[in-house]
Structures are given as structure tokens and as C-alpha cells.
Amino acid sequence: MSTNATQWIRGAVPVAGALAIMLAPIAGEGHARASLAIAVAMVLFWITDVLHPAIVGFIGCFLFTAVGGVEFETAFAGFGTATPWFLYGSLLLISAADRAGVIAWLGDRTPRAVTGSVMAASAGLLCAAYLLGLVVPSGLARATLLLVPALAWARRSSTPMTTTGGLVLVAMYGAATFDRVLPTPAGVVALDVATALALLMGVAWLSREASPDDAEGGEPGEPPAVDVDWRIAALVAVTAALWVTTPVHGLAPAIVGLAAGLITCFPGLTRATAQKAISPDPLAIILAGAALSIPAVLLETKAADVVVGAWSAATEGWSADGMAAYWATTLYRLLSPDGGPPQLPILDGHDGVGSGAAWAAAGVTLLSLYQSPALILGMSVGRCRQAQMLKLGLVVLAALSLAVILF
């Protein structure tokens, strides 16, 4: 099948999804049906990756105002939350750390046993993600910290262009999902172990994909000397310390991250570098704001009641069938991205313990980059692609479905 035909088919899927919602026999007040159809189309466009995700987000928010029956402030409500601007601060901080040589310095001092194996590096990043989940309350803060070693280790691998997307993606996935507070229940630990194993299997699958940019391949030679700007290194260290000690001082992680990013913009603080530096995609901020606007619109137009009603109908009488509830909740969460308010109603407590377990499992099953600001950060900085994200998410979905059946 030709590339153009494939693109047309992928583009037809979101349109068909929106039409299905418009023609479905569902009850809804006012503009509920239209806003739900637009939201479903946005989600499917993001998953099929037909257009740049930021463009899809902008178009969707505009349509919410044009035909969805909501005010501009509601249609673009996600941009008024802290998440997009926290993401901006993270982009600035990571860019400054790269220009300052911090990432290269860390890569040079990491043992070859770690950087020489994708699986070893992935396992190390997942362990770090889990430990950070115990002390750092913000997923985006954890993602920013994990992005430094992920980029450093990927660059020291024998195939940096192929490895970067996989390592960054697994690190960001771990940052988005390993959010635990001690004491950790045994069931949650089992869920985390199953997720980690699924992520390792997924990154092993992704690492088999060759990239034409890796034609030079081979073992990396002796790295050139790195001139580190220790002022930026100190700023990164202080920011990390403030995030880890958030319960002590009470400063919001978003404020700390944005402040650190803005400090890097002060004249004379960062210097130009001859080495190749990362070029983050700033449109990621638009994607984050648009994704978080969806729940606000669905709540305002009462479309959220339709979504919750559909979930309840799909899982009615299935409290003993954990897999059915798990799949239904995974689909539900596609309309409620993580990262900050507003959120669609939490479904814990519906149909007893079964739905609580389904919600927990669905909370770590991410199928698209827009579902977490940590994954959006990986897309902007680490060249994570939606196709990779979907494959990794399907591996997690299959593994946790099997775990739900067995346990």
C-alpha cells in the first residue's frame, strides 16, 4: 500500500470516530455530543499521528469554541494550568544543561556496562524512576531529572540515534507511572513489577528497529574532553534537591522548575557551545495545554456524564471480570490526561474493589504521548515518536491484561 493511501486511511479513522459519536444513540445535554465528538477526534488524531500533535490540539480547542458551545476560557482552559509552563521551564533547563556540557559529562563518567546495553540502561532508568516516585511528587519533575541520564547514556551507546528514542521513552513512561507514597501496598508493588517488565520487553522490541541515521554505528571511541559549566550544573543540582525535599519546604514543583528554567535565560549565564546541542520542540507546550483542555470542556458541556455513563454501562455486572473493567477504564482515561486539573471524575468506588484495581492498572497503561506531560517532554527533547509510544503502550496493555487474568 502506498504512503499516500496509508495517510488517507489514518486520517479517516479520527473522522469516522467523530461521526460515530455524532450518530450514536447517546443522551446528552446541549453541546455534549459535539464536544465529545471533537474530543474523540483529537484523541484519534494524536494516536494515528497524521498531523503535528500541537496543530491538532489548536484546531480542536478552536472547534470547542466554534461548535462545542463553550467560551474561549473553557476551550483553552488547559493553558491556564501550571503544567504547560512547568513544561516550558523543563525545556529551558534541559537545553541549558546540554549546552553547559552536563549531559555529556555524565555520559562520559557512566560505566560502559550501562551505556553499552540498551536493556541495562533501561533497567537503570526504571529503577531510578521508581525511587524518584517515592520522594518526588511531580511526574514532570521526575521526568526532567531522568531525562539527563537518559540522553547521556543514549549518546554513549553504539547506535545513539536509534537508542535515544527508546531510552527516553522508557524513562518518561516510568516517570509518568511510578508515582508511589510509602508505605506501598503489596498489590501496587506487583503492578509496578509487571509494568517494569513490560516496559523492558517493549524497549527490547523498539531497539530492534534500525535507523538510517545510525549507519555510522560501531563502538564509540574515546570521548573528547568536556568543558562543563559548573554554574548550570549547580543550578540543576539545587533544582533536584528542591524537588526531592518538596514535603519539607512546600514549594510547588512547577514554581521551582519554571524558576530554574527562567534563570538559565539570564544574560551571560549560559555560553555558546561548539558541540551539537538538543533542539526542543516548543510546540509541545501547545500539546500539553490542549490535552488538559479536554476534561474542562467535557465537564462544562456535561459530556463527562455521558462518558461516565458509558463506562458504568460497559462494566455493569463485570466486577468479577477484571480485564473487561481494565480495558474500559483504559479507554476512559484517554479522555482524561494526567498532569494537573481539571480531571474527569475518578472511577474508584464504582462496582466495588474490582473497578479500583482496574483504575490502578489503567493508570499505568498509556497509549499516546499526550496522556502525560512527562511523555510530551520526551517527545519534545528526546525525539520520542507516537508510533514508538503506541507499541510500548500495547506491550504494557497485553502484559497487564494477562496479569489481571492470572491474579
Instruction: For residue range 59-74, list pLDDT tens digits in order.
Output: 999 999 998 789 999 9
d(CA 162, CA 118): 10
Taking only the tens place, the pLDDT of each residue in 92-132 is 999 999 989 999 999 888 898 888 888 999 999 999 999 99
Mean pLDDT across 241-250: 93
CB-based contacts of 218, cutoff 8 Å, min separation 6: 158
Answer whether residue 191 shows pLDDT above 80.
Answer: yes
Greatest mean pLDDT range, 28-32, 146-150, 276-280, 349-353: 146-150
Answer whether residue 211 shows pLDDT above 50.
Answer: no
d(CA 66, CA 217): 50
Mean pLDDT across 260-289: 83
pLDDT of residue 155: 85
CB-based contacts of 264, cutoff 8 Å, min separation 6: 92, 93, 95, 96, 232, 235, 270
User: Can you give the pTM of this predicted structure?
Assistant: 0.91
Q: Grid coordinates in use for 384?
A: 520520542
Percent of the chain with pLDDT over 90: 52
pLDDT of residue 213: 44
Mean pLDDT across 71-79: 94
